[in-house]
Every structure is written in C-alpha cells, then in structure tokens.
Amino acid sequence: MDRQVKVAVLDDYQGVALDFADWSILEGRADVKVFRDHLSDPDKVGERLKPFDVVCVMRERTPLPRSIIEKLTNLRLIVSTAGRNASIDMDAAKERGITVCGTPSTSHGTVELTWALILVVMRNLLAEVASVRDGKWQVAVGDDLQGKTIGIVGLGKIGARIANIARAFGMNIVAWSQNLTPEVAREHGVRLVSKEQLFRESDIVTLHLVLSPRTKAVVGAAELKLMKPSAYLVNTSRGPLVDEEALIEALKSRTISGAALDVYDAEPLPESHPFRSLKNVLATPHIGFVTQEVYKIFYRGIVEDIAAWLDDNPIRVINS
C-alpha cells in the first residue's frame, strides 16, 4: 500500500493502549488513532470508523454487526483481542473481503476476580472497610467458605480452575451444563448434578459459560427461586446468561442474599441502572480480564497482527 493505513484502536478506557506494546514497528506504515471514549450508538460508531482501514476492538466492548460493517467501505482488517468475538458479524466481514484476526489470550484474570468477588461478599468486606474509614469498627459477621457448596455452571477451562481453588478452600463442589458429562466431572473431582439441584443446593452459584442462543438467559426466574435466601449469584462470564429483570426482582425481594457481577446486558452500565444502587449487589466494571499481563498480551498481539497483515505474512485469522 502506497499510503499509511489508518488504524483505529477502540475503547481504551484507561488510556494505556500505546504503553503496553511497541507500536514503533508500525511507524511510517500505519497512522494509529486511539479512542478512549465508548460509543454505544451504532450510527455514531459507523461514522467514526468510516476513514479507517483497520479497526482494533477490545473483546466485545464495541460490537461490529452487519449494519456497521457495510458502512465501512475502507475497512480491510479487524483485529479483536482474544481468539473469539461473538459481537463481530463474521459472515458480513467475509462477504466484504475483510480479514478478522485475534490475539493470544489467557483466562487467569477472570478466575482470580471471581474469587475476589466471592470473598468480598462472603466476608462483607466493603462494609467493614467503610466502617474503618469512618472511624468505626466491626459492623457485620461474615461467613465461611469451608464446608459451603459452590455450584459451577459450566466446567470448561475457567470453571475447572474455579473448582480447583474451591477444593483448596474445603468447599463442596457441584457442577452442571448442557454438555457436562460424568467423565469430565469426575476428572475434576466435581459432583455432576441437575440444573435444579445445583441452584437448590448451592451457597454460591458462579457462571462460566460461553454466551450462545442456547445459554442466553440460562439463569432466569425459575432458577433464582430455587436458590437459598442466603445464597449468592456470581457472574464474571457474560451478562445475558442471566435474565436481568428476574435477577433485579430477586435482589429487591431478597429471594437471594445478593449478587456479585462483573458483566451486564449493556456495557458500560447505564448510570441509572439498579445494579449501581442495590445494596445487595457488588458490581465491578467488567474487569475480569483487565490486568497488566493480559493487556500486554492483547496489545502486543494487535501490533503483531497488523504488522503481519501489512507484510502479507500468516496471521491469526478467526473468520476462515
């Protein structure tokens, strides 16, 4: 290409994209523009991205459906962090001859955040920290993990690691998913139960499924009604796995004790959303994968992919 390609790097919330990789290897070949703000309006997204040959997305923060892709007449390459992105219309990209590629990834950050959320809600840490800051002392009585039952919905790569850590805490571990077999459950030292049993028996239910038409709203009003009044729901996977309105109602009515959430139907979470104000919700801003190590992997992978594409070298294509 005779001119520099125009590269858009989207949703750099913390303003660190240029710090986590050596972008100088693209110097003279690519004009890189980083956007820190997030656009939710598809029309505004399409208008912003019209000039760009390359669009780099951070996971599913900015979806690229057909309606947007068809407006981007200059677009030739989409780079998504990680190796899968359900928010990109792969068929539309393929029809337009747009290459879609991914980067290496790791899931340990999500595993660690899941346990951070569990520990915070079980020991009432936010209230205790606030009390100390206010010049006071103990205000609540926390609960143990030892001897409690954790229900893992989805025993894949992340769910299996959750189970390993639960074992170290001395917890009883049950699991369920549509595809989980007794052999896989035994391999991980987990008791396979029905969906109903899992929600009925668990003190903590944690979700670790890939979002698909089959798993959307896999947790609804019926499942929440089965849970103990003392139980917590934890979701660090994808927001639409849970029927959001049913969860809000369960939290308001105290059908369950509370929820620890890192993912939502709409992100960023609207300012007036109940999850921001409900007393029995611990809400974090989708930071499961947001660690320094992961960002290094992601942004270095983006640079490598763009350089390889410019050089006509093999890249990590995910739409072929």
Catalytic residue of the set 223, 238, 244, 304:
238
Is residue 293 annotated as part of the catalytic site, yes or no? Answer: no
User: Phi and psi of 43, rounded to 5°?
Assistant: -65, -40
What is the greatest pairwise CA distance in the chain?
A: 67
Cis before 268? omega within 30 = yes
Judge contact between 245 and 264, C-beta under 8 A.
no
Q: How far apart are CA 63 and CA 75, in angstroms?
A: 15
Secondary structure of residue 187 in the 3-state scheme: helix
Q: How far apart are CA 304 and CA 20, in angstroms?
A: 13
Catalytic residue of the set 267, 273, 300, 316:
267
Q: CA neighbours within 13 Å on the CB side: how many for 21?
A: 24
Strand arrangement, sheet containing 191-192: 191-192, 172-176, 149-153, 204-207, 232-235, 258-261, 281-283
Catalytic residue of the set 48, 188, 208, 286:
286
Is residue 200 annotated as part of the catalytic site, yes or no? Answer: no
Is residue 267 annotated as part of the catalytic site, yes or no? Answer: yes
Q: Which residues are known to be catalytic?
A: 238, 267, 286
